[in-house]
Amino acid sequence: MFTMGLLFLAFALGLALLLFTMSSRLSRAMRIAGWGVSALAGAVGLAFLVIGPLMMPLGGADKMAPRSMEAAPPIAKRAKKKFRRSRTRRKKISMGRAKPKLAPKPVPGVAPRSLSAPPPTPPSTAPSGAAKTGGSAGPDDGGAEISSRSFAPTAAPTPTPTPTPTPGAAPESNAEFDTVGIFFGTDRKRADKSNGKITRVAFGGERGRKLVLGKADVTIPKNAHARGVVERPWELTVIGITLYREEENPKKHFTISKIGVMSEADFINSVNRKLDGSQRFKDHALVFVHGFNMSFDSALYRMAQMVYDLGFDGAPFLYSWPSANDLKSYEYDQNSSAAAEKYLRDFLHIVSERTKAQKIHLIAHSMGNMPLLRVLQDFQIAAEVRSDLKIQQIILAAPDVDRDLFESIAAEIVPLGKGVTLYASANDKALWASASYAGGLRAGEIGDKGPTIVPGVDTIDVSATSTDVFSLNHNTYAERSELLKDMAALMLTGVRPPRQRTPGLQPVTTDHGAYWRFPEQK
């Protein structure tokens, strides 16, 4: 019934699109009839999806009912009769009405032997590892050889100790999925989740007003994963109501297999163990600050996807501020990101001062750029006492920040790291909506006069890497192979200008300065 429901919904959607595109060519009567059929098909499809799962238990109830012994097959009846005869005989023996079998009379010179089991054989004095062949024949066995292997007491096997997993060690690999460990800091309020059997640590959109540290293990399906994609269960939602949701499966989807909060000491020790095992990105730390309309779990999945696709084996960190995960909560998210600045500052202090990380890279996306910029601005003001920050690359992806404000702060933080990179796009629909709401051009947009250009900042136009007209094109930094390769090369080598690490980038010179651009895709 579920398949039928999907077919009806697909037919309704296809017919609606056809009517929409050809409405000018159809008569009024045909349009009315077409929309009526489309609405009817959609209603039938929804009915199948909603009523179908409710009817399934009713149709299968009679098949699950246990059968009585009266309706049992002949084999079961014979077993029942045999059981009754055996029970009757035991009852007669206990009441004295049946004579039990007696042991045979002893024969002079022959040791008596039990009817129920052979005599035990004395323990062998053979050295450990020697094979047991057989004992000597007794006077009552007609000279037949008796195997001592059947009667000698067997020593209990020594249990093998189960290895205890080391927190922060290299992620375990399964035949069907890999596991990526993500260290996190958040000022969200706890909102633990339960599936009726297990309750796990989780965080919602409310502000917790304190810094919480922890670690989560995220599984990534080996065969189903495509680079740049976060595979999650498919669901059908109509008017905010979820009609169907695919069951989560680690073979097909990103899942959170383990998550917990940690004390600062345990957090630091776990991070250091992870850094000790790093190879390609030896002693590197990567800190990611997410953007607008993002849940805690979604931020974990995105961070794990980036770490996995970048091939990053250093210590990955996520800072998750209290986003409401709601398109209607833009102002709430703005205020939450601002309120998170002091907790993000403390988090960066822990990563830079308390762990073994020697090279720290920072990535901020969308609205997450604002708290990071403010914190870095504070660090730069106190640069004489913040020489231990070890910041290498600062990557600002699609900043949802007023352009004038961005230019002012970005110019201040340039000396703080080894390099600052800005990824901007001309077809980022999310930033266009944000600019319409906030009333000012955003730093991640490319307007009529070109992208945002700040001395000392490498601005890269990524418009050509994401041209899907049905996409918001707001997560290009993590979804496109070209940008993932550029970020990996930037963190590994620090090579500038960008064209030296990513051949093919085109230099563009304007009256306001120079920037780089990915070429048009053929």
Q: Closest Cα partner for 228 from 292, 302, 289?
A: 302
Q: Would you state the pLDDT for residue 70?
A: 37
Q: How many CB atoms are closer than 10 A to CB 27?
A: 8
Longest dimension (CA), the chain: 122
Supply the mean pLDDT for the chain. 78
Query: Is a pLDDT exceeding 50 seen at residue 107?
Result: no
**How is residue 395 written in tokens?**
């990557």
**How is residue 445 written in tokens?**
């947009």
**How is residue 252 written in tokens?**
């097909």
Say if CB 283 and CB 275 are below 8 A apart.
yes
Residue 263 — φ and ψ, nearest 5°? Answer: -70, 165
Average pLDDT on 216-225 reads 96
Say if CB 230 and CB 189 are below 8 A apart.
no
* Beta-sheet strand order (sheet of 177-190): 255-262, 203-221, 177-190, 315-320, 284-289, 359-365, 391-397, 419-424, 457-461, 513-517, 506-510
Say if CB 466 and CB 480 are below 8 A apart.
yes
Say if CB 184 and CB 152 are below 8 A apart.
no
Q: Would you state the pLDDT for residue 370?
A: 98
Cα 405 to Cα 140: distance, rounded to the nearest angstrom: 105
Q: Closest Cα partner for 499 from 475, 515, 520, 477?
A: 515
Provide the pairing of β-strand 284-289 with 255-262. unpaired
Q: Would you state the pLDDT for residue 466?
A: 80
pTM for this predicted structure: 0.69
Cα 391 to Cα 396: distance, rounded to the nearest angstrom: 14
Average pLDDT on 400-411 reads 97
Say if CB 183 and CB 315 are below 8 A apart.
yes
Provide the pairing of β-strand 235-238 with 241-245. antiparallel
DSSP letter assigned to residue 449 = T
What lies within 8 Å, CB to CB, of 46 at 6+ separation is 5, 9, 238, 243
Query: Is a pLDDT exceeding 50 seen at residue 119?
Result: no
Query: Is a pLDDT exceeding 50 seen at residue 139?
Result: no
Q: Would you state the pLDDT for residue 519?
A: 93
Residue type, 176: E
Q: What is the pLDDT of residues 337-373, one digit of tens each?
A: 999 999 999 999 999 999 999 999 999 999 999 999 9
Q: How many CB atoms are closer than 10 A to CB 73?
A: 8
Query: Which class does domain 177-517 fall in?
Result: alpha beta
What lies within 8 Å, CB to CB, of 503 at 6+ separation is none
Spans of all domains in the chain = 1-21+30-46, 177-517
Say if CB 341 and CB 267 are below 8 A apart.
no
Cα 199 to Cα 197: distance, rounded to the nearest angstrom: 7
DSSP-assigned beta bridge partners for residue 391 = 360
Say if CB 187 and CB 212 are below 8 A apart.
yes
Q: Would you state the pLDDT for residue 134?
A: 38
Say if CB 516 and CB 483 are below 8 A apart.
no
